[in-house]
Homo-oligomer: A and B are copies of this chain.
């Protein structure tokens, strides 16, 4: 039950965009350096983030990335969902057809409850909250 590096790195990338929301386009290269994440690897994570409409980008000189929504409109759930695909702890919760035992499986009910709890936490935290936390820490 580990959070993937995709999700963790992607969240940190989004946080950096949030911290520089008013600066216009930010270079991926700069974020990679500041967050100590491989530039090439980060450039893979950015693809689904852009496709989902959470960020937008400009090519060429003076290009870069920027958030496509306001800080309070982007939750951790949005970000992690995009980077991990299915947020569910167990496949059968979202997709019951993968297991014939679903109807008689009590443990599934628990995993479902746990899924809901996790989603609740993740959707309650926005980029705005992270920025506030960051500012308070300094």
Contacts and interface: CB of A to CB of B under 8 A. Distances in A.
A45 interface: no
Given A114-B118, A117-B118, A118-B114, A106 B1 contact: no
B114 A122 contact: yes
Interface of A: 1-4, 7-8, 11-12, 15, 35-36, 76, 80, 84, 87-91, 101, 104-107, 109-111, 113-114, 117-118, 121-122, 125, 130, 133-134, 137
B113 A121 contact: yes
Copy total for this chain: 2
* A interface: dominant SS: helix
Contacts of A88: 2
